[in-house]
Amino acid sequence: MYDGMGIALPTPTAVILSMSDFLRGTGGLVMLISIISFVVAFKYLTTKNAAIRYKWHRQVLRLPVFGDLILKSLIARISLILGNLSAAGVNLLESLDIAKSVSNNVVVTEAIDNVKKGVFSGETLTKLFLKEPLFPPTFSQLISVGEQTGQLDEMFNSVAMYYEEEFDGAVDNMSSLIEPIMIVFMGLMIGGLMIAMYSPIFNVGALIN
């Protein structure tokens, strides 16, 4: 109808039609292949290249909001394992070795490995964890209390509970923040589509009148 009348489509409608033509044509295929190729190449590099994997894992821990969540989750998991193994009478070096194996982040794994080497040299856990900037000061302070009272296993379990609560609280706060943002985003998307769909009809009616 617009072509027959020699009138240009409204800008929002023209943009959406152009995007649709692009995605349904060769552009969409090229984009899909490019995304798949990037994901496969990135996965291969982070799996095979230790330097790239280390840089990526370090960058993950530096992500705003999510990096802190990941670190708290890992600390809670490691503390829980160390507490349970210590309560079961497992040697500290063996406990650290097992805790190191459950971490899927090589930066955290390296930090625990450094702690393990220090324990083997006779240093205290408090000093060793303080040397690792990855672990928060609160973590080291709680471990120090456990060493001084001789109840390291109970303190590790308390640390695990503390960081689990911190993780849950951060997730709840983030969810309460994301929900209104998502509602506004969806409203803008749906509103934009509605405008793009109906503005040509309204414009034709106005031109006819």
pLDDT (average), residues 145-160:
84
pLDDT of residue 6: 67
- Which phi and psi (to 5°) does residue 98 adopt? -70, -40
Class of domain 64-168: mainly alpha
Name the residue ranges covered by the structural domains of the chain. Answer: 10-48, 64-168
* pTM assigned to the model: 0.75
Q: What is the mean pLDDT of the chain?
A: 85
pLDDT of residue 185: 93
pLDDT of residue 3: 66
For 138-146, the CB contacts below 8 A with 24+ separation are: 138/162, 139/75, 139/79, 139/163
Determine the Cα–Cα distance for residues 166 and 121; give it in Å rounded to an integer.
33
C-beta of residue 75 within 8 angstroms of C-beta of residue 135? yes
Determine the Cα–Cα distance for residues 69 and 72; give it in Å rounded to an integer.
5
pLDDT of residue 206: 63
Q: Residue 132, Cβ neighbours under 10 Å: how many?
A: 17
C-beta of residue 119 within 8 angstroms of C-beta of residue 125? yes
Determine the Cα–Cα distance for residues 27 and 181; give it in Å rounded to an integer.
30
Confidence of residue 201 (pLDDT cuts 50, 70, 90): confident
pLDDT value at 149 more than 60: yes
pLDDT of residue 40: 94
The answer to whether the Cα torsion of 50, 51, 56, 62 is positive or negative is positive
pLDDT value at 209 more than 60: no
pLDDT (average), residues 12-34:
87
The 10s digit of each residue's pLDDT in 107-129 is 989 988 888 888 888 888 888 88
3-class state of residue 50 by DSSP: helix
Burial 99-127 (b: 16+ CB within 10 A, else e): bbeebebbbbbbbbeebbebbeeeeebbe
Determine the Cα–Cα distance for residues 133 and 151; give it in Å rounded to an integer.
24
Q: Residue 41, Cβ neighbours under 10 Å: how many?
A: 10
Show the tokens assigned to 31: 């984009």
